[in-house]
Chain A
Amino acid sequence: MDTVDPVVLARIQFAANMTFHILFPTISISMGWVLLFFKKRFTATGQQHWMEAYQFWVKIFALTFALGVVSGITMSFQFGTNWPGFMNTVGNVAGPLLAYEVLTAFFLEATMLGIMLFGRGRVSERVHTWATFLVAAGTTMSAFWILALNSWMHTPAGFEMVNGQAHVTSWMQVIFNPSFPYRLTHMLIASGLTVAFLLAGISAYRWLKGDHGLEVKAGLRTGIYLAAALIPVQIVVGDMHGVNTLHHQPAKIAAMEGIWQTQKGAPAVLFALPDASTQSNRFEVAIPKLASLYLTHDWEGEVKGIDAFGTQHPPVAPVFFAFRIMVGVGMLMLAVSWLSAWRMRRGRDLATWQARVLVAMTFAGWVALLAGWYVTEIGRQPWLVQGVLTTAQAASQVPASNIALTLTMYLSLYAVLLTAYVSVVFHLAKKTSTANTLPGAQHA
């Protein structure tokens, strides 16, 4: 195993765990608020179908939350096992942020979840609604702290280096670092979109299975309108985030755009196969000067290429493709959600083909989210903390064979669990729908 670089293995393992983990909090962050919305609609209108919607989606929430918790525990251990250099160098910054996440968010969500799931009947409706709110608030607070730390790793601020260790000079600058507002907003909306398409997709699936109850329609409409409203906002926020990245991490932008040489009037590359060995794109399809326009707001503006960063630049191809996948899925989301919303106005039903498209896009949010996550995280390489600490410096001395062994174990388990998760979500939808469409079953 000596021929395999342990740093590469450690990175693959961490990336695998992160990829698996991020799927679930992404859903629980927004799903918590959707559940609160359902519960509030129920208490405001007294209509039973809102409570039925709550009771259906809270099952999926519980499942998602459990997967988020257990994979999150794995993450908290791997900081130490895979990246001891991280805490040794920037522990004074990362430590308090992580500690506040556990103290203010994690306990709150996990404890209130018990009451939210099983407490109805044991506590008053008011307390139960409060528990739902606290779970939603907890998950969002969690995102706040984690994104603060993650943003700081991209755009570190408010610290000074003393003897090779970061010491905080201003917590306000650490938390509200230059990319934090954009990154947090972008992430929260991504979570909203993931949940919106999950809601719409599963509801459309139930509708196709013959369950035309009010509860299913409520889920469908909530999902579609939420997606239709959020996607344009996301496009604007994403663009602002891009401008911010150009300012702080120009190498990442060069990789995203597939621009190898610094140039004036840079083209917008629609498609290409970036080739690191020749430092150029093959099969490039590009619109001349467009990248300069949207990046610098000037047709002849200068855009830095990969060549401006020596060896300190991320691998181009993965960032380049991930960015195009994210944008592509985003465009698809825009088209599908607006078409569906237009169709569903004034209470009309979806066409069957539209429902099928929504089912196919049930987990579209995950695809866009992961692609975006790879853009931002691979785009930061070779740095772990931009300009402060490289990934290689932070890696541990654990033998490659140990990492390879555990990596295999993790990947197998994740494959099983992910398959189980997706099939159980659809199984729940099918089970509920069959029960609701049985002859003689009561419709609300």
Chain B
Amino acid sequence: MLNTVPIVIPDLSVPAGWLPLVFALVMALAMLAYVILDGYDLGVGVLLRRADDEAQKDTMIASIGPFWDANETWLVLGVGVLLVAFPMAHGLILGALYLPVALMLLALTLRGVAFDFRVKARAEHKPLWDRAFYLGSLLAGWSQGYMLGGLITGFKDDWATHLFSALIGLCLVSAYCLLGAGWLIMKTEGALQLKAVAWARGSWMFTAAGVAAISLATPLVSSRIFDKWFSFPNLVMLLPIPAMTVALFFVIARSLKRLPTRLAQGNQYGAAVPFACTVGVFLLAFYGLAYSLFPWLVVDTLTLWQAASSPEALMVIFYGVVVVLPVIIGYTVFAYRVFWGKSTALKY
């Protein structure tokens, strides 16, 4: 029934038309930045359990130490934009996802503090905080995937949907692991770096399977998304997205195969390839998802224009975004340049 309702896109030359679109873009970019940036440090957190010894754990944590605070801030911006620019969608989405959101918040809380506590608490408590860090990272990643599943299916409340969401949760954790392993290959050396290559190989398969499963399942759960992808000429025009994704997965696999020999010879050439290509996969998946969902904030229920705040309130924030966002990107780049290269022990 709902699928017969035509989508009305308002006049984009007036503020009420283009402002919601701009904020949808800002929100999408913030979420994308979050998924990639916090993605690699969540991945490192999940992989922490597989480290050989304390020294490796410390190095892994050191590689994300200067960044994780700022990485998480992108989530606050993303949810913040949802809250302030699309208040109706915020209530609807977070209301429907009440429990997974709560789980994610608990997990992020546990993980964020475990990170700091582990080096400051009594030595005998360190393994406990390490486990909390691992568990927090795992649950945060999984609940985010679960929420994504809910978003794609329009929050249907049946067992198939919940199963689908739970599956996506696992895929996202695996993708975060691939990203985190790629990060470690870039930022570390020696035995840990070689281990990271092995971790990346392990998560590659699950990530590839996950991306394939979601790509197939998404159009099946929503006929509107199905029509968007599998109608002519969309199908031909969109073909580059899955094609490029497959190509990137291929490049990652090849790189992971060659890296051990090369690294053993002390050659760091190509150590950034798995991470860069995984980021590429995330970008393409995100683009595909955005295309599927647009212009809905809640599939088949609420478009971004229906959910938007008043144009005058959006305009006030718009000025701020235009001035401040470039500054934020500027000092984020500066921070990454300061800590460029192989990570060193954290000491302060």
Q: A82 to chain B: closest CB distance in Å?
A: 9
Interface residues of A in 107-128 (CB under 8 A from B): 107-108, 110-115, 117-120, 122-123
Residues of B with C-beta under 8 A to A79: 83, 90
Interface residues of B in 17-40 (CB under 8 A from A): none
B316 touches A96 (CB 8 A): yes
A428 touches B120 (CB 8 A): yes
CA distance A427 to B123 in the complex (A): 11
A95 within 8 A of B: yes
A63 touches B313 (CB 8 A): no
Given contacts A69-B112, A70-B113, A95-B83, contact A406 B99 (CB under 8 A): yes
B85 within 8 A of A: yes
Q: Which of A295-303, A329-337, A360-368, A395-403 contacts B (4 or more CB under 8 A)?
A: A395-403
Residue of A nearest to B85 (CB): A95
A48 within 8 A of B: no
Could you say which interface size class chain A belongs to?
35 or more
Q: Which of B1-9, B101-109, B245-253 contacts A (4 or more CB under 8 A)?
A: B101-109
A120 touches B98 (CB 8 A): no
B331 touches A424 (CB 8 A): no
A77 within 8 A of B: yes
Residues of B with C-beta under 8 A to A444: none
A413 touches B106 (CB 8 A): yes
Specify the main secondary structure of chain A where it touches its partner: helix
Contact with B along A253-273 (1 / 0, CB 8 A): 000000000000000000000
B84 touches A98 (CB 8 A): yes
A71 touches B109 (CB 8 A): yes
Q: Which of A83-91, A182-190, A225-233, A346-354 contacts B (4 or more CB under 8 A)?
A: A83-91
Residues of A with C-beta under 8 A to B67: 114
Residues of B with C-beta under 8 A to A409: 102, 106
B321 within 8 A of A: yes
Residues of B with C-beta under 8 A to A167: 310, 312
Residues of B with C-beta under 8 A to A94: 84
CA distance A417 to B313 in the complex (A): 38
Q: A160 to chain B: closest CB distance in Å?
A: 12
B76 touches A72 (CB 8 A): yes
CA distance A171 to B116 in the complex (A): 39
A70 touches B109 (CB 8 A): yes
A73 within 8 A of B: yes
Residues of A with C-beta under 8 A to B101: 77, 81
A91 touches B309 (CB 8 A): yes
> Which of A76, A80, A171, A424 contacts B121 (CB under 8 A)?
A424
A103 touches B328 (CB 8 A): yes
Interface residues of A in 363-408 (CB under 8 A from B): 396-398, 402, 405-406
A103 touches B95 (CB 8 A): no
B73 touches A106 (CB 8 A): yes
Given contacts A114-B67, A171-B316, contact A77 B105 (CB under 8 A): yes
Residues of B with C-beta under 8 A to A406: 98-99, 102
A417 touches B312 (CB 8 A): no
Given contacts A87-B91, A98-B80, contact A427 B309 (CB under 8 A): no
B94 within 8 A of A: yes
Q: Which of B220-228, B232-240, B282-290, B332-340 contacts A (4 or more CB under 8 A)?
A: B332-340
> Which of A103, A398, A402 contacts B325 (CB under 8 A)?
A103
Contact with B along A117-151 (1 / 0, CB 8 A): 11110110000000000000000000000000000
Residue of B nearest to A127 (CB): B338
B295 within 8 A of A: no
A-B complex: 5 closest residue pairs judged by Cβ atoms: A95-B84, A84-B91, A114-B66, A87-B87, A70-B112
Given A88-B87, A114-B66, A424-B117, 5 new contacts (CB under 8 A)? A69-B112, A99-B320, A110-B72, A167-B310, A427-B121
